[in-house]
Structure 1
């Protein structure tokens, strides 16, 4: 009799464990997301506000203004040496040509005026006195064709130009890889942007003769978000990979200033 009671009790305990296990397994099946959408929704609950959309932003690294080699500056004699084919086609009658040196991002008092497409002796002298990484603009005012309506109207071109060496400093892994690094490494601070409002900003830095990044600085304005400004300063100081330094026409290595431009696409 005692033996029968023990057997019955053991059997009852085993059945209880089996029923409990089946219940837990069934509950787990119920809680498993049925598709990826469920997983996304769960992640949204965890990530929260960080899922808000980041506005369309521009990332660019280049010389400060449009790059023209010093060897080309030495041969320039006409405004057409600084205009593209589409711009050349628009000019009907030139009114004035003002060559002005840019210093500290401002038009300086160093300028020479002409009235034809050919540069004057004074303009050529001023132009060829400029050194590597100096900046200037040539503002040409003229009567020209409106490319849409065909009507002759008052127009002007005013390209801003930076004088660069024969070979510019180059990021070994390529410009696209550099932009990807800056973009992906700054995502964590982009969620600070409110109402898609952010200012365009520039950061300058020097690539040394040894191919090192130095003298990183906040060049102009601010994004309006100190955390974003500080992040880019940090990222530029710690760019991974290697640079090949700039070289002049004689193959001599030299420093070069580059500028990282960031901001809304319609504001850069």
Structure 2
């Protein structure tokens, strides 16, 4: 009787483990690319306006909460208004084509570059047009460099009348990473990379609790000129050292060779990535 009871308990534990693993296999990590603003190095060479640096400028510009609400409200105003912004709900692609200049008046634009956490150069202009100094800063920046943009602006008169705003100066900030002309690519692209992360990280743990721990983690690594992973590290911990080192880091280091990044001259270059597992992006 005692042996039967022990056998039954072991069987229940085994079945429970299978059940937990099965639940994890239902989890699907999806990587859609960088979720931070980026700028193509080739396009920077021809940039004439701050709007040309990245198509995500106004979409991802960090603003005080109420100012973001006001700006988005102006985008949704009916097209009978003189300062109407592009009809597509989420079409931010170019702040000039989308007539942002009709609702905002630039006070100043500051552009700085950072490399290895240290500020290198800063240039200031009084409107959206880049000065020769700012153009030089952008043209000499290398892939992996972070561009820091600070925009100070006011709402134009007709826009202020619509939302009841005053003439105060608003300040927004955005950090933009310069990426190579052709970014490094996992074999099979985003879809296969997502599958690899799902199978080799999320499906390697059992239980909902451990899966949730992974969503708190983030990893950074570099794809070198040969397409190999180097300098991989856990940049955000799961809170579990075994998961960090034996599952996440091991899976990243064992990734197959990538197609390396290339610059505008066709030369192979290294590229850095940062992957937060909670929302599937860099």
- Please classify the TM superposition score into its range, dividing by the shorter chain length: 0.5 to 0.7
Distance in 1 of aligned mates of 2:211 and 2:243: 16
Tell me, yes or no, if structure 1 residue 141 matches structure 2 residue 157.
no
Distance in 2 of aligned mates of 1:174 and 1:68: 20
Structure 1 gaps of 5+ residues are 1-41
Within 5 A, what are the aligned runs for 1:84-233? 84=56, 86=92, 88=95, 89-90=99-100, 91-104=103-116, 106=117, 108=119, 110-144=121-155, 150=163, 152=165, 155-186=170-201, 187-189=203-205, 191=207, 193=209, 200-218=216-234, 220-230=235-245, 231-233=247-249
Distance in 2 of aligned mates of 1:234 and 1:108: 34
SS in structure 2 at match of 1:243: coil
The answer on whether the counterparts of 1:202 and 1:221 sit within 8 Å (CA) in structure 2 is: yes
Higher strand share: 1
The answer on whether the counterparts of 2:21 and 2:205 sit within 8 Å (CA) in structure 1 is: no
| Greater Rg by CA | 1
Q: What number of residue pairs does the alignment pair up?
A: 221
Q: Which residue of 2 aligns with 1:50?
A: 20
- Give the TM-score normalised by the residue count of structure 2: 0.63
Structure 2 gaps of 5+ residues are 1-10, 57-90
Tell me, yes or no, if structure 1 residue 80 matches structure 2 residue 92.
no
Alpha-carbon spacing, 1:123–1:136, altered in 2? closer, same or farther (3 Å): same
Q: Which residue of 2 aligns with 1:68?
A: 39
**CA offset at residue 114 of structure 1?**
2.1
**CA offset at residue 257 of structure 1?**
1.8
Alpha-carbon spacing, 1:64–1:83, altered in 2? closer, same or farther (3 Å): closer
Q: CA offsets per residue over residues 169-196 of structure 1, 9 Å max, x none?
A: 1112111111111122223336373795
SS in structure 1 at match of 2:144: coil
- The correspondence for 1:247, drawn from 247, 262, 276, is 262
Alpha-carbon spacing, 1:196–1:175, altered in 2? closer, same or farther (3 Å): closer
Alpha-carbon spacing, 1:260–1:168, altered in 2? closer, same or farther (3 Å): same
Alpha-carbon spacing, 1:179–1:199, altered in 2? closer, same or farther (3 Å): closer
- Give the TM-score normalised by the residue count of structure 1: 0.66
Distance in 2 of aligned mates of 1:243 and 1:196: 28
SS in structure 2 at match of 1:182: helix
